[in-house]
Structure 1
Amino acid sequence: MNVTQAVKQYVSKMIESSGPGMKVLVMDKETTSIVSMVYTQSEILQKEVYLFERIDSQSRENMKHLKAICFLRPTKDNVEYLIQELRRPKYSVYFIYFSNVISKSEVKALAEADEQEVVAEVQEFYGDFIAVNPHLFSLNIVGCARGRAWDPALLSRTTQGLTSLLLALKKCPMIRYQHSSDMAKRLAESVKQIITKEYELFDFRKTEVPPLLLIVDRSDDAVTPLLNQWTYQAMVHELLGLNNNRIDLSRVPGVSKELREVVLSAESDDFYASNLYLNFGEIGTNIKNLMEDFQKKKPKGQQKLESIADMKAFVDNYPQFKKMSGTVSKHVTVVGELSRLVSERSLMEVSELEQELACQSDHSSAQQNVSRLLQNPKLNELDAARLVMLYALRYEKHSSNNLPALMKELHRKGVSESYGRMVQAVVEYGGKRVRGTDLINPNDAVAITKQFFKGLKGVENVYTQHQPLLQETLDQLIKGRLKDSQYPYLGPSTLRDRPQDIVVFVIGGATYEEAQSVYSLNRSTPGVRVVLGGTTIHNTKSFLDEVMAATTPGRGAERSQGSGRPASRR
């Protein structure tokens, strides 16, 4: 159940199947992202792929000495591009791989266009999703809902992504869905329809306990995506934005040209892989150790190169030094910028109050603390609004709810009207009327544990009390206690044993906090393997885009990576 490995194997198989010789890799916008998440350009270059092209590029030259490996989504546009390509081929031979199911009629149209007989192979390789971490995948869709219903094109794209994931992992699952969400039921039915239609593809070896697909709705827990995060990957996404493993650092004061955009990939960066889930203080200590290690290994300026052996040793070691130097400068820049933003925006204080709002039940204290922090001139619009959003969700039905007064304070602070509208939209999106489970139980006696983070200067005493609702849901599921009334099976179920292979999918987007919960659960529960996916992976800004798309009449998808159409079997 490793989604990164599944996509890597597909890409390797594509390149190896074409045999020795120089190759060009032809992709579309989405498959470019899919491949770049699991392989660096230099790794692919080592496999004799010397050129990367887009199928929709008008400026590609004829290069008959190259073999073409085409990895494309089976969309109408891509099939049309291929037909045009095969009528006037630019390369000597074509190996065509679709990331999902393609219809017989489209394969026939391609065969008819191949008059010069340049196509050596057409296959389906089911890598139609973004592999973020080994246990985490995304479809890069923000704004999948129109009100409480699917955008039809995005339901189709989500179904394709999810069925492709199941095929890549070789799972034919039982399906459970969140009963309170019509969107969850609709997606469950749509996935089931494909599994039934493509029964031959899903005819995998039966296991004693069948795998399980659990479909949930983001609106059941609108609190998690609003919280500041304190582990490395989550913090980078929240404060800097992590888009297909890339971070834009161009606004960082004094940043060097080569560090304006950096890639953070656990596949190619050992430091990042080791620190993904560590807290900010620990990362500070580890950065310090990394720098000290680099200083020890760095070639001395006056190093004597007196013999051929000396020169050879230097040349052999130089790439390693260069790579280490790049790793050090990249992470020092990223962590330095995180630290600057934490200080500039008073995020320690903000986060402490966020945790209090999410986990405690003292209304009087919460209101006073929100009101007090809104007076802080360091508080930016987003942080001010998110505190009021958390208060609005937490104390929505409280007898002394004083949201209007806090809204006035936001206005006095000069927070824009658009953020004011977002406060109401968040309650409409994820308030008590919508939720299927009791996200907030005022009777809970919450045991508060303060975790002291020490390491980087100025980073101490950060609260991390909050646990996402998904963590409790999965815990109940694994123990066999998840209520059928809240999460019914689609169709009859004989499953009574605790599930072992679980794919959980969040309509409306997952978060890195939830991904960390799944990572911890996989490590602490032998025999259970969980993979988490979502229409996207949210930070607060993208979540608010999701909320506004769902609650603003006539507003469709904010951003997606294309929709495509329902695919069928060749």
Structure 2
Amino acid sequence: MNVTLAVKQYISKMIENSGPGMKVLLMDKETENVENLIQELRRPKYSVYFIYFSNVISKSEIKALAEADEQEVVAEVQEFYGDFIAVNPHLFSLNLSGVARGRSWEPTLLPRTTQGLTSVLLALKKCPMIRYQLSSDMAKRLGESVKQIITKEYELFDFRKTEVPPLLLILDRSDDAITPLLNQWTYQAMVHELLGLNNNRIDLSRVPGISKDLKEVVLSAENDEFYANNLYLNFGEIGTNIKNLMEDFQKKKPKEQQKLESISDMKAFVDNYPQFKKMSGTVSKHVTVVGELSRLVSERHLMEVSELEQELACQNDHSSASQNVRRLLQNPRVSEMDAVRLVMLYALRYERHSSSILPGLMEELNRKGVSEKHCRMVTSMVEYGGKRVRGSDLVNPQDAVAITKQFFKGLKGVENVYTQHAPLLQETLDQLIKGRLKDSHFPYLGPSSLRDRPQDIIVFVIGGATYEEALAIYNLNRTVPGVRIVLGGTTIHNTKSFLEEVTLTAAAGQAERLQRAGGHPNRR
């Protein structure tokens, strides 16, 4: 199962079918798009049209298009199922944020999510059985909505039967609010966490001294071999690999040999060799990206922050955690965002501990000058992903003290901590593959159930997936024979976007509760 390949094949087929030099239109089937197309066909600008919709289009809309095509310029209308963003071969996103109102769906986004998810199933040619997280009403509703489409469009889903049916597993982000709060140390995840990766683009315009041609760069494994090879490697290894690439080039210039001992040496080397920059724009791009990541790690004290995050996420020593969180909150080099995330992790981890120091930590945030908006987010986070909401334990007792810290010093100036936190999703899938995932926690939709180990699994996370979870899926696909897993989410989160999602969810939920009670939310 490969979502990137599925979309590429659709695009190739579109271009082949229409012939050389033809204009091809691929569009979502929003009502506004169909209306615009109807107007276009009434007064066509071209002699022939090949129209491809990225999802199922209704018979009434087809009829409206046919009636508008009085000049018979439409050569072809087809459905090509690409109503989603293929991020990696095993990862997709719907680019939707703010999908929830408290514990319920934002009304317009349930049908949109259903369309996107069924488009993925059609692109992969899968008609799955469905399991959902029992503790989430949103997961059940999405499962029912997808099932309705499969039943309604049964001819489209009439794929060749396999010995073991595929499985769609629908989860809710609120069951694991810890994973999106952690700093990351593998390349793709780290880039998204610290710089933001949106549709494979990074905005570097705020980087000190950035050159004009590097203010926005594209990171795509499809056309960037270095990125494809280093996507899941840790930060220290990335630095070493860039260093090796540049040293290979230097061997061709024996008279002008220079040592590459640090990120700053590499940047100076690229600036001093315009021909190298021209020949290897890819390397130039990655030197810039890694250089900025390195600067942020140092500036924000992220080595120490990340170490404490791992302690909070994986260990069970309240006394040590309390002291260390307090100590880092008092460190002026720790940013507002990192201070808030540490308090959130503490609040989620020790929510009901008899010796909780959460009120004291909130006072520390105030003393640090953290904004009221960010302070309020701590409460919102506990409401979103606290024990009252979760269907699972975030920390597995047997793994409580199993974390190990490994330090990679691949090159001077880049020191990477590789952490042992495993997202809850990894444990869930491990149980699923071994046939131990409890029906009482993850029931099937409908009377049937799987007797054999699933082979094709599509996992969808309402409220957003993460690149750390994508790495877990990548490793499972690599190490478990006979199992193919694809992960998707309403979006792909970093900490910043996750906090925005939680804030939107809390605000919408509060507004809805007040509306039911006949009150009005506070206007700020």
With normalisation by structure 2, the TM-score equals: 0.92
- Report if the CA contact (8 A) 2:139-2:462 is conserved: yes
Aligned length: 493
Aligned: 1:545 with 2:500: yes
Between 191-200 and 105-114, the greater mean CA deviation after superposition: 105-114
Quick one: percent identity of the two aligned structures? 84
Between 107-116 and 154-163, the greater mean CA deviation after superposition: 107-116
1:491 alignment counterpart: 446
Kindly state the Cα deviation for residue 420 of structure 1 after the two structures are TM-superposed.
Answer: 0.4
Distance 1:297 1:204 in 2: 55
- Report if the CA contact (8 A) 2:277-2:284 is conserved: no
Aligned: 1:405 with 2:360: yes
- Report if the CA contact (8 A) 2:29-2:54 is conserved: yes
Instruction: Deviation per CA, 1:41-60: give whole Å up to 9, x if none.
Output: xxxxxxxxxxxxxxxxxxxx
Kindly state the Cα deviation for residue 457 of structure 1 after the two structures are TM-superposed.
Answer: 2.3
Which of 286, 291, 298 is the equivalent residue of 1:331?
A: 286
- Report if the CA contact (8 A) 2:309-2:342 is conserved: yes
Kindly state the Cα deviation for residue 245 of structure 1 after the two structures are TM-superposed.
Answer: 0.1
Distance 1:219 1:156 in 2: 20
Distance 2:319 2:510 in 1: 37
- Report if the CA contact (8 A) 1:294-1:324 is conserved: no
Corresponding letter in the other structure for 1:16: E
2:387 alignment counterpart: 432
2:6 alignment counterpart: 6
Structure 2, gaps ≥5 residues long: 257-274, 512-524
SS at match of 1:453: strand
2:17 alignment counterpart: 17
Kindly state the Cα deviation for residue 293 of structure 1 after the two structures are TM-superposed.
Answer: 2.7
1:186 alignment counterpart: 141
Query: Equivalent residues in 2 for 1:367-406 (5 A)?
Result: 367-406=322-361
Kindly state the Cα deviation for residue 321 of structure 1 after the two structures are TM-superposed.
Answer: 7.2
- Report if the CA contact (8 A) 1:355-1:463 is conserved: no
Kindly state the Cα deviation for residue 112 of structure 1 after the two structures are TM-superposed.
Answer: 1.1
- Report if the CA contact (8 A) 2:457-2:485 is conserved: yes
Between 138-147 and 289-298, the greater mean CA deviation after superposition: 289-298
Distance 1:351 1:554 in 2: 32
Q: CA RMSD in A?
A: 1.8
SS at match of 1:96: strand
Distance 1:300 1:246 in 2: 37
Could you say if the C-alpha distance between residues 19 and 512 of structure 1 is closer, same or farther in structure 2, counting changes exceeding 3 Å?
A: same
Corresponding letter in the other structure for 1:173: P
Distance 2:324 2:255 in 1: 54
1:134 alignment counterpart: 89
Instruction: Deviation per CA, 1:53-104: give whole Å up to 9, x if none.
Output: xxxxxxxxxxxxxx32110011100001101111121222110000001011
Between 292-301 and 460-469, the greater mean CA deviation after superposition: 292-301
- Report if the CA contact (8 A) 1:358-1:394 is conserved: yes
Kindly state the Cα deviation for residue 444 of structure 1 after the two structures are TM-superposed.
Answer: 5.1
1:471 alignment counterpart: 426
2:227 alignment counterpart: 272
SS at match of 2:485: strand
Distance 1:436 1:494 in 2: 21
Could you say if the C-alpha distance between residues 180 and 72 of structure 1 is closer, same or farther in structure 2, counting changes exceeding 3 Å?
A: same
Aligned: 1:108 with 2:73: no
Distance 2:509 2:432 in 1: 37
Could you say if the C-alpha distance between residues 229 and 445 of structure 1 is closer, same or farther in structure 2, counting changes exceeding 3 Å?
A: closer
Query: Equivalent residues in 2 for 1:518-557 (5 A)?
Result: 518-553=473-508
Corresponding letter in the other structure for 2:323: Q
SS at match of 1:213: strand
Distance 1:72 1:135 in 2: 24
Could you say if the C-alpha distance between residues 527 and 405 of structure 1 is closer, same or farther in structure 2, counting changes exceeding 3 Å?
A: same
- Report if the CA contact (8 A) 1:371-1:409 is conserved: yes
Distance 2:334 2:432 in 1: 40
- Report if the CA contact (8 A) 2:181-2:495 is conserved: yes
Instruction: Deviation per CA, 1:99-136: give whole Å up to 9, x if none.
Output: 00101111111111112211100000001100000000
With normalisation by structure 1, the TM-score equals: 0.84
Corresponding letter in the other structure for 2:10: Y
SS at match of 1:390: helix
- Report if the CA contact (8 A) 2:403-2:421 is conserved: no
2:161 alignment counterpart: 206
Instruction: Deviation per CA, 1:509-555: give whole Å up to 9, x if none.
Output: 00000000000000001110000000000000000011011111468
- Report if the CA contact (8 A) 2:236-2:416 is conserved: no
Kindly state the Cα deviation for residue 151 of structure 1 after the two structures are TM-superposed.
Answer: 0.8
Distance 2:144 2:412 in 1: 52
- Report if the CA contact (8 A) 1:159-1:191 is conserved: yes
Kindly state the Cα deviation for residue 247 of structure 1 after the two structures are TM-superposed.
Answer: 0.2
Which of 426, 435, 452 is the equivalent residue of 2:407?
A: 452
Distance 1:452 1:154 in 2: 43
Could you say if the C-alpha distance between residues 69 and 378 of structure 1 is closer, same or farther in structure 2, counting changes exceeding 3 Å?
A: same
- Report if the CA contact (8 A) 1:92-1:118 is conserved: yes
Aligned: 1:507 with 2:462: yes
Between 466-475 and 283-292, the greater mean CA deviation after superposition: 283-292
Aligned: 1:227 with 2:182: yes
Aligned: 1:99 with 2:71: no
Corresponding letter in the other structure for 1:507: I
- Report if the CA contact (8 A) 1:142-1:546 is conserved: yes
Which of 3, 26, 29 is the equivalent residue of 1:71?
A: 26
Corresponding letter in the other structure for 2:354: S
Distance 1:89 1:293 in 2: 56
Corresponding letter in the other structure for 2:2: N
SS at match of 2:409: coil
Kindly state the Cα deviation for residue 297 of structure 1 after the two structures are TM-superposed.
Answer: 5.9
Distance 2:323 2:122 in 1: 52
Query: Equivalent residues in 2 for 1:240-279 (5 A)?
Result: 240-279=195-234
SS at match of 2:280: helix
Which of 140, 160, 171 is the equivalent residue of 1:216?
A: 171
Which of 108, 127, 146 is the equivalent residue of 1:153?
A: 108
1:315 alignment counterpart: none
- Report if the CA contact (8 A) 2:314-2:399 is conserved: no
Could you say if the C-alpha distance between residues 275 and 75 of structure 1 is closer, same or farther in structure 2, counting changes exceeding 3 Å?
A: same
- Report if the CA contact (8 A) 1:507-1:535 is conserved: yes
2:262 alignment counterpart: none
2:264 alignment counterpart: none
2:77 alignment counterpart: 122
